[in-house]
Amino acid sequence: MAVAKEQIRQIISENNITSVADVYTLLKESFKDILQELMEAELDASLGYEKNQKGNLATDNKRNGHSPKPLKSQYGEFQVDVPRDRNGEFEPKLIPKYQRDISGIEEKVISLYARGMSTRDIHDQMQDLYGIELSAEIVSKITDRILPLVKEWQSRPLSPIYPFVFMDCIHYKVREDGRILSRAAYVVLGITTEGYKEILSITVGANETSKFWLGMLNDLKNR
């Protein structure tokens, strides 16, 4: 299906598509979604059971809705809904009670959804995010909650045509064998024929070789 030049001009005009800065607008939404899931996973681990789980539970404490919390990051300001428990005992470790500025963890959180991250990589990244605040057992439980969401996002079907595709790279630090290493995650942003902006993929890569880009683009084509 060909896209007419007039339609392309209309998409550009209506959506103010000027640069790869649009990537960061979408990253803010993705960052918010992942933070939300991480907090829900923390509450699961704290209560000892998952949402909607039935049967004999190890505690009489239950979920009790959410409280809005404004946050500030390098991607801009946004609001998350912090899950609450009935006894008022739960406090997210990733975002402490009185913390509002969470700049510095964005790339680590976003990279959880990147292709090229093994289960061990994701677990280590989670351990690095939480540090000593949570035990290795609880971090593993949170990782288990996040992994299916990661796999689903990575393999979701894409639209057949994106008239515009932008690529950018975010850098972040990881702890590996006691060392701090720098990694790069390559973000691909697509614009649909209706003008909607969508992050198509995030891929961890050692360097920007032609083989790497070819593999990433072939993966997008197959989806």
Q: Where are the beta strands (DSSP E) in the chain?
A: 63-73, 76-85, 164-176, 179-191, 197-205
Residues 142 and 102 in one domain: yes
Residues 149 and 163 in one domain: no
One-letter amino acid at 106 equals E
Q: What is the pLDDT of residues 51-83, one digit of tens each?
A: 766 655 667 888 899 999 999 988 788 899 999
How many structural domains does the chain have?
2
Would you say residue 6 lies in a domain? no
Residues 45 and 114 in one domain: yes
> Of 134, 155, 176, which marks where a domain is finished?
155
Residues 36 and 81 in one domain: yes
Contacts of 10 (CB under 8 A, 6+ apart): 195
Would you say residue 189 lies in a domain? yes
In terms of Cβ atoms closer than 10 Å to its own Cβ (0-12, 13-18, 19+), residue 81 is middle
Residues 94 and 179 in one domain: no
Residues 110 and 197 in one domain: no
Residues 140 and 160 in one domain: no
Question: Rounded to whole angstroms, how far apart are CA atoms 101 and 18?
Answer: 29
Residue 67: the pLDDT is 94
Q: What angle do CA 161, 163, 164 make, to 5 degrees?
A: 125
Would you say residue 70 lies in a domain? yes
Q: HSE (CB half, 13 Å, CA atoms) of 57?
A: 16
Would you say residue 3 lies in a domain? no
Residues 129 and 167 in one domain: no
Would you say residue 147 lies in a domain? yes
* Residue 72 structural domain: 23-49+58-155
- Token output for 135: 């035990």
DSSP 48: T
- Residues 113, 114, 120, 123, Cα dihedral to 10°: -30
Contacts of 112 (CB under 8 A, 6+ apart): 34, 122, 125, 126, 146, 150
Per-10-residue mean pLDDT, the chain, length 223: 53 52 67 86 83 65 92 86 92 88 80 76 79 74 81 86 82 71 81 83 73 82 83
Q: What angle do CA 60, 64, 65 make, to 5 degrees?
A: 155
